[in-house]
Chains A and B, each alone.
Chain A
Amino acid sequence: MADKKSESRYQELIKEKKELEMNRPHEIDAMRRWKHSMGKILQELELYNK
């Protein structure tokens, strides 16, 4: 059960990452928010690589 939950969360994070990659803003504040959101996703994804 735990593995299933973890796999679905992983897929969710990959999806969110792809969405952010496809929607890069060009305005400075939006770009700061983009970086913050992407950083949080990568931080959580990093746990799956350890």
Chain B
Amino acid sequence: MKPSDVFRKRNLSKVNFEYEELIGRDFSDSNMKGVNLKNRDIHNADLSCTDLSEADLSGAILFNVKMRGADMQNTNLSNAKLWDADLYGADIRGADIRGADLFYADLRNVDLSESNLSGVNIRHANFEGAILKNVDFSNANYDSHTLDTMSTEGKIELKKQGKSW
């Protein structure tokens, strides 16, 4: 096992990450349900197919992070920095994403049903194939590219609730 693999495919749900360096680490396929990573810097990390449901990632620095296919149901991502993050196919139902920065994020095929995206920056984010049932987009900041990638229903809601840049 390589030292970089120490967090892969592990049950990390009870781990205290307080003194761990997390930048660029590989957590893929791990169980991180309910972990506390509030305000942590985890940029460039690999969280693909990781269970992050009910985790606290509020205020975390998550740019360039891979979260493909991750379980992020009811995860707290409020005020997180998710620029250029790869969330392709992630399950983000019921998540709190208020005030997060999703600039340039890849949100293709994600399920965002019942999640709260009020006050987010979604300029140039890609929502192709995303499920956007009952999403709160109030005061979300978007641009024409964001709209171009959305379903007709999503587009209507975003235009109604959000703010064009």
| Residues in A lying within 8 Å of B, measured CB to CB | 24, 26, 28, 31, 35, 38-39, 42-43, 46, 49-50
Residues B124 and A42 in contact, CB atoms below 8 Å apart:
yes
Residues A24 and B123 in contact, CB atoms below 8 Å apart:
no
Across-interface contacts of B123 in A (CB, < 8 A): 39, 42
Across-interface contacts of B84 in A (CB, < 8 A): 24, 31, 35
Residue B78 at the A interface, CB < 8 A? Answer: no
Interface of A is mostly: helix
Give the distance to chain A from B44, nearest Cβ to Cβ, in Å.
6
Residues A49 and B144 in contact, CB atoms below 8 Å apart:
yes
Residue B5 at the A interface, CB < 8 A? Answer: no
Residues A46 and B144 in contact, CB atoms below 8 Å apart:
yes
Residues B103 and A46 in contact, CB atoms below 8 Å apart:
no
User: Of all chain B residues, which has the CB nearest A43?
Assistant: B165
Interface of B is mostly: loop
User: Of all chain B residues, which has the CB nearest A38?
Assistant: B104
Residues B165 and A28 in contact, CB atoms below 8 Å apart:
no
Q: List 17 A-B contacts (CB under 8 A).
A: A24-B84, A26-B43, A26-B44, A26-B64, A28-B41, A31-B64, A31-B83, A35-B63, A35-B83, A35-B84, A35-B104, A38-B104, A38-B124, A43-B165, A46-B143, A46-B144, A50-B144
Across-interface contacts of B49 in A (CB, < 8 A): none
Residue B61 at the A interface, CB < 8 A? Answer: yes
List B residues 19-67 near A (Cβ within 8 Å).
Answer: 24, 41, 43-44, 61, 63-64
Residues B165 and A31 in contact, CB atoms below 8 Å apart:
no
Across-interface contacts of A28 in B (CB, < 8 A): 41, 43, 61, 63
Give the distance to chain B from A10, nearest Cβ to Cβ, in Å.
14
Q: A31-B43, A31-B83, A49-B144 are in contact. Are A39 and B103 (CB under 8 A)?
A: yes
A37 to B104, CA, bound (A): 13
